[in-house]
Homo-oligomer: A and B are copies of this chain.
Amino acid sequence: MGKKIVLEGETQLKTHVREVPTKKDDVFYNPHMRFARDITVLFAQAVEPVNAFDVLAGSGARGIRLAKEAGLKVTLNDANPRACELICENAKLNEVEVKILNLKARKALSEGKYDYIDLDPFGPPTGFVDAAFMALDNRGYIGVCATDTSALCGSYPKACRRKYGAKSLRTEYYGELGLRILCGFLAHAALRQGFGVDFLFSHVTRHYMRVYLKALKKPSKKTRNLGEIVFLQHCFKCLRRNYRKLGELKPKCVCGGENTLCGPLWRGDIADKKTCQRMRGFSGDLKTRDLLSLVGDEQRISLPHYDLHKISELKKTSPPKLSLVEEALKQAGYPYTRCHFNPHGFKTNAPLGKLLEVVGQIRN
């Protein structure tokens, strides 16, 4: 395993590269996360924080890019002294001045105040989130990555209960449910620490999720947040899904099937359209610009997306083209938007019966 210099954005990064990154890796650099770091840089360019903290910095890729490409004052921390050496080399290589800490993450978070904190742990972020909120002053931004999507998306519901305190559920829209559980967890941690939040950008890509939130100590925001933390009931027989409060749960679906419960989770917006547009303005990459548009548009409809293949399976027909579904729904007067979670996914507020009828009438 040798060192190698790679270029990410405008930043050169000296890294140890392995094919498969493992927890035992000396210093962690994951080339597959380049896209995630691109997004972080765009987010920083859009919201312009001053004082950023890359808490679990590894090779320093994210923090150094924030210093170099978004011009932030950056502190980077890693518990591994060899990571700190590499961060130092990378800072010199890019001619940026950064502050480097060599502490355990939670200790590091207690040492200063920041207005952007990035949590990029190997595994769940749950143990660091409260400490991150504590390291904000009265307002600030937090970026959080979760790689334990199998827990959040319903493959390991026990792990989800243990870590996030929520019941996860494996459905055809698992990515969105997982992300909403993560957001619900973050909103709750914020409330515990006296903050209200707005989610400015979130995405599910490959096997990770990333959420960017704005936190501020504002009572009205906290009250509104509380109302957005609810449950979801899903019927596996007819695909119906509804957000419900705990006191309003219904054991049976209107179709006669069983309702299955998921949550607590966040039913509110998981991105802010204006922030998406600002981020988009800084990006020249087609894939990135596409994601930013999609995520911004999704927020018109809070009900989780439908999967066209799943609907066709239910109707025992072959799936029509998505563009025809869009046309038919819009003609029938219902909102429609694609979504970034799933290439066969779309969001609509059309009642389920109407949706099935419309899809059933489409002739390819």
Query: Which one of A45-53, A144-152, A246-254, A287-295 contacts B?
Result: A246-254
Nearest CB to that of A261 among chain B residues?
Answer: B246
Please give 10 more A-B residue pairs, beta carbons under 8 A apart, in addition to A130-B131, A161-B229: A127-B192, A130-B130, A130-B192, A158-B226, A161-B226, A162-B191, A162-B222, A165-B188, A165-B264, A250-B251
- CB of A322 to closest CB in B, whole Å: 34
Q: Is A193 interfacial (CB-CB < 8 Å)?
A: yes
CA distance A191 to B162 in the complex (A): 6
Contact check: which of B109, B163, B167, B194 meets A247 at CB < 8 Å?
Answer: B167
- CB of A350 to closest CB in B, whole Å: 28
Interface-centre pick from A131, A192, A194, A229 (highest chain B CB count, 10 A): A192
Q: Is A309 interfacial (CB-CB < 8 Å)?
A: no
Q: Which residues of chain B come closer than 8 Å to A111, judged between CB atoms?
A: 110
Q: Is A126 interfacial (CB-CB < 8 Å)?
A: yes
Residue interface mask A75-114, B partner, CB < 8 A = 1: 0000000000000000000000000000000110111000
Nearest CB to that of A164 among chain B residues?
Answer: B192
CA distance A106 to B192 in the complex (A): 13
Nearest CB to that of A250 among chain B residues?
Answer: B251
Chain A binding surface SS class: helix
Contact check: which of B158, B192, B246, B249 meets A163 at CB < 8 Å?
Answer: B192
B127 touches A106 (CB 8 A): no
Q: Which residues of chain B come closer than 8 Å to A356, judged between CB atoms?
A: none
Supply 21 A–B pairs (Cβ within 8 Å), ascending by A: A106-B134, A107-B110, A110-B110, A110-B111, A127-B193, A127-B194, A130-B130, A130-B131, A131-B134, A158-B223, A158-B226, A162-B226, A163-B191, A165-B188, A165-B192, A246-B261, A247-B261, A249-B249, A249-B251, A249-B261, A251-B251
- CB of A282 to closest CB in B, whole Å: 35
A167 touches B246 (CB 8 A): yes
For chain A residues 199-227, which have a beta carbon within 8 Å of chain B? 222-223, 226
For chain A residues 118-164, which have a beta carbon within 8 Å of chain B? 126-127, 130-131, 134, 158, 161-163
CA distance A191 to B167 in the complex (A): 15
CA distance A246 to B244 in the complex (A): 14
- CB of A57 to closest CB in B, whole Å: 19
Nearest CB to that of A124 among chain B residues?
Answer: B192
Q: Which residues of chain B come closer than 8 Å to A110, judged between CB atoms?
A: 106-107, 109-111
CA distance A226 to B109 in the complex (A): 28
